[in-house]
Structure 1
Amino acid sequence: MENFDILIINQGISGLALACGLNDCFRIAIIEHRNHLNISETDQQNIKTSLVNITSLKILQYLKIWNQDIASFSSLLYKLEILKKNNIKKTVFNSGYLGYPELGYIIDDCLIYQALINRARQLRNIIFIDSSSLNTISYHEDFALITVNNNYIFKAKLVIGADGINSLIRKNTSISLLFKDTKYYGLTTIIYTEKSHKNTLRFIIHNDGLLILLPLKNTHLSVVLWLLPPHTAKKYLYVSNPDQYVNYDLITICNILGHCIIYNNTKHKIFIPRMQYAHNFIKHRLILLGKSAYLACPLFFQNINLELMDTAVLLNYLKTLRKNNKDIGHYNYLKYYERSIKYRITKNLINIPYLHMLLHDKNHFLEYAQYFIFYLINTVPNFKIRILHHIMGLNNLPKWLLQDHYDF
């Protein structure tokens, strides 16, 4: 019977990133479900595009998977613009304020996923177990006992459940989910614009919601995330030819980029942003990681930053336990990690009401609140810098990441 330090049941980015970061300290087994389940990283909106901020970039460099090939297929993000009501009000954020040449990168999740797979397969302490499912996992005082579908049995000191928002590990251990109502809908598509997007991330506040444009590598293509109040979403849900109405309204709202059209008959998708978190993230010999643990950001392109940040925290925590000769799977040690993650989730949930304020201004109070926010951003330098720190992930940058040198 083989013994491993860690078993990772994975689907996507977080579990692979953790394995790549821990390979020099632990013997790791991975059961990878990406090829077996038809559940994408961003299954709510079916567009797999993310904003990799500066902190996430440093984490990927630390893991030695960020390279020139990935960078060449990514879109550099130079600016953020927040516009209101036909561009009457505009606020610009530029990374130059903080000495960085960019705010981050817009990138296809699949590129990062494939780079992590390639890196993990090169590392001698990581073993991939070819299995489409688990038969059983039983948790004991000193180990977890795992049986896979080919009757292969092995032990692990710690099980990491990183198998996505519909986690089987979470369900099999009867960990309940808590849900939060976002009170609005999301619409996604890709548009072609007459003018170049100039590598600018744009937030457009409109009477019918908040529209976000993510610039792609092609300077005339942008991913659209439109957060819609329910009354606006119904306009597109219950008509015979919704694409025509969606395209007409996008042309009106995105006029800063000239004429635009839904790109190459790309289908738009309307969904309800999913916000959920597990009642517990840990049990004895078990940790939930990534979307298995929580999905608490309605802006899907930011989820990769939350996942990589949680992975970096856990990576450093497990290395510290090993350095101090502690049992990495014992509940008494894992509970301190759980507290730190719950604290971060609480901070994310506190910010959600501020997002609601940007959805529409038919309420006079919200209109005045928006005006006041624009005034603060444009007149108080420290306010803009604090927002930039949040966008770039610098307010969560672990100190140990700054102490290493990375291969580019």
Structure 2
Amino acid sequence: MQSFDVVIVGGGMVGLALACGLRGCGMRIAVIENSPVQHQFDPQQAPSLRVSAINAASQKLLDYLGVWQTIVQKRVGSYKQMEVWQQDSFGHIQFDAQQHYLPGLGYIIENSIIRGSLWQQAQSSKDITLLTDNRLQKVVWGDNEVFMTCDNEQMLTARLVVGADGAKSWLREKADIPLSFWDYEHTALVATIRTEMPHMLTARQSFHNDSILAFLPLQDPHLCSIVWSLPAMQANRRLNLEVSAFEKELSVALDMRLGFCQLISERQIFPLIGQYARNFAGQRIALLGDAAHTIHPLAGQGVNLGFMDVAELMGQLRRLNSAGKDIGQYFYLQSYERKRKHSAVLMLASMQGLRQLFDGNNPVKKMVRDVGLLLAHTLPGIKPKLLSYALGAHDMPEWLAKVTTNSSEIV
């Protein structure tokens, strides 16, 4: 039987970030992941379809963890402008980093690159054990330890077990943590697109009566990753359209702002579901990222919310451990739960409100949308607040806000 201080179930971006954040503090860390990173990054390969919009707060965390320079050396898209508009209307808002004395607004990075860089960091750490090709089969919570059995009959104990195993979290289910969820009644279609005109480091988002289309700039000036949020029937129709017909519809949906759009990848779809765990922590358990909450991708904040879960939990665990406290006691974990539930509820409510506001073609709603976007674009003082929110400045734990990192420039 192997004994650890913290066992993290799930070796995705969020779980690995926590493991890397806890190294070097005297605790023994294990990560259970059934799908380890199997390949090295190949710059000649086309960008993968699943990407994340990384804000300044998450970039600061990744820099603190020592992986940002590794990520930058692989492949990073950045954006210094952002445009949001309502199709066939006058409502629009535009952000320009230069006008607000910022080096940039954010980054578009393939999930596989972030995960691969964190995996390499974890592999190189002596106090992190990566248990690959394993699945948890049984977990029992005791007063002082958690007892776990894997499907290969390997047995583990830990003072704290952390669920970072995604939206369908096995650990959350075994802990009998209730889940609130709602169907956004939308399906996301993702693909990689080559545009006729360069994207000019600009992230673009167009609201339609029944859909939301985002063009996210990649490192190549003519490549964008798209996320097209659509009703399920429309998403399936566009998934199966002939390539030429899909390209035509896509180009028109973006108002031809980047000229003709060429599909250069496969198309994938996945349903959009909002979820919220009733508890983010309990006796000897904590939940992170999608295991605790999932939101609509319209603001690109899902993984950023998860990374701030990591920042809050790792900060608290390091403090508890250095003070000789029991890191698995719910009495201490309640502080993490309270702070992160507050952030998640605000984000979920904001996304749901925006989703409902921009849904449908009711003339009154459309006028409210137009006027709201126009006022946000023109009235003084509103844009800086929206930018601060988008950059994640409001959501950083105090310890991370005080950290001076090595990288502050947008690449």
Asked if 1:303 corresponds to 2:302, the answer is: yes
C-alpha deviation, 1:108, in angstroms: 0.7
Going from structure 1 to structure 2, the CA distance change for 1:104 and 1:236 (only over 3 Å counts) comes to closer
2:43 corresponding residue in structure 1:
none
2:214 corresponding residue in structure 1:
212
Distance 2:18 2:241 in 1: 45
1:117 corresponding residue in structure 2:
119
1:179-215 per-residue CA deviation (whole Å, 9 max, x = no partner) reads: 1121333322222211001110001123452211101
Q: Which runs of 5+ in 2 are unaligned?
A: 39-47
Task: Report SS of the residue matched to 1:195.
Answer: coil
C-alpha deviation, 1:167, in angstroms: 1.8
Distance 2:161 2:236 in 1: 43
Task: Report SS of the residue matched to 1:184.
Answer: strand
In structure 1, give the amino acid aligned to 2:292. A
Contact 2:86 2:370 in 1 (8 A): no
C-alpha deviation, 1:32, in angstroms: 1.9
1:23 corresponding residue in structure 2:
23
1:259 corresponding residue in structure 2:
260
Counting only pairs closer than 5 Å after superposition, residues 180-195 of structure 1 correspond to structure 2 as: 180-195=182-197
Counting only pairs closer than 5 Å after superposition, residues 110-149 of structure 1 correspond to structure 2 as: 110-149=112-151
Going from structure 1 to structure 2, the CA distance change for 1:183 and 1:7 (only over 3 Å counts) comes to same
Going from structure 1 to structure 2, the CA distance change for 1:156 and 1:72 (only over 3 Å counts) comes to closer
1:225 corresponding residue in structure 2:
227
Task: Report SS of the residue matched to 1:274.
Answer: strand
2:394 corresponding residue in structure 1:
395
Q: Which moved more, 1:299-308 or 1:217-226?
A: 299-308
2:337 corresponding residue in structure 1:
338
Contact 2:33 2:135 in 1 (8 A): no
Contact 2:52 2:108 in 1 (8 A): yes
Going from structure 1 to structure 2, the CA distance change for 1:207 and 1:169 (only over 3 Å counts) comes to closer
Going from structure 1 to structure 2, the CA distance change for 1:152 and 1:182 (only over 3 Å counts) comes to closer
C-alpha deviation, 1:336, in angstroms: 2.7
Contact 1:20 1:119 in 2 (8 A): yes
Task: Report SS of the residue matched to 2:273.
Answer: coil
Going from structure 1 to structure 2, the CA distance change for 1:235 and 1:135 (only over 3 Å counts) comes to closer
1:328-362 per-residue CA deviation (whole Å, 9 max, x = no partner) reads: 111222223222222122101221222332345x2
1:43 corresponding residue in structure 2:
none
1:41 corresponding residue in structure 2:
none
Distance 2:148 2:248 in 1: 55
Q: Which moved more, 1:318-327 or 1:398-407?
A: 398-407
Asked if 1:155 corresponds to 2:154, the answer is: no
Contact 2:18 2:310 in 1 (8 A): yes
Asked if 1:165 corresponds to 2:164, the answer is: no
Distance 1:14 1:51 in 2: 14
Counting only pairs closer than 5 Å after superposition, residues 78-89 of structure 1 correspond to structure 2 as: 78-85=80-87, 89=91
Q: Which moved more, 1:374-383 or 1:225-234?
A: 225-234
In structure 1, give the amino acid aligned to 2:9. I
C-alpha deviation, 1:71, in angstroms: 5.0
1:194-239 per-residue CA deviation (whole Å, 9 max, x = no partner) reads: 10011100011234522111011121121121222567557647xx
Asked if 1:104 corresponds to 2:106, the answer is: yes
Distance 1:13 1:235 in 2: 32
C-alpha deviation, 1:156, in angstroms: 1.1
C-alpha RMSD over aligned residues: 2.5
Going from structure 1 to structure 2, the CA distance change for 1:359 and 1:229 (only over 3 Å counts) comes to farther
Distance 1:230 1:154 in 2: 42
1:37-88 per-residue CA deviation (whole Å, 9 max, x = no partner) reads: 9xxxxxxxx9311111100000001111110552551011110011333585
1:381 corresponding residue in structure 2:
380
Contact 1:77 1:201 in 2 (8 A): yes
2:45 corresponding residue in structure 1:
none
Task: Report SS of the residue matched to 1:272.
Answer: strand
Counting only pairs closer than 5 Å after superposition, residues 354-365 of structure 1 correspond to structure 2 as: 354-360=354-360, 362-365=361-364
C-alpha deviation, 1:395, in angstroms: 1.7
C-alpha deviation, 1:270, in angstroms: 3.9
C-alpha deviation, 1:115, in angstroms: 0.9
1:9-56 per-residue CA deviation (whole Å, 9 max, x = no partner) reads: 11311111111111122211221222399xxxxxxxx93111111000
Distance 1:406 1:27 in 2: 26
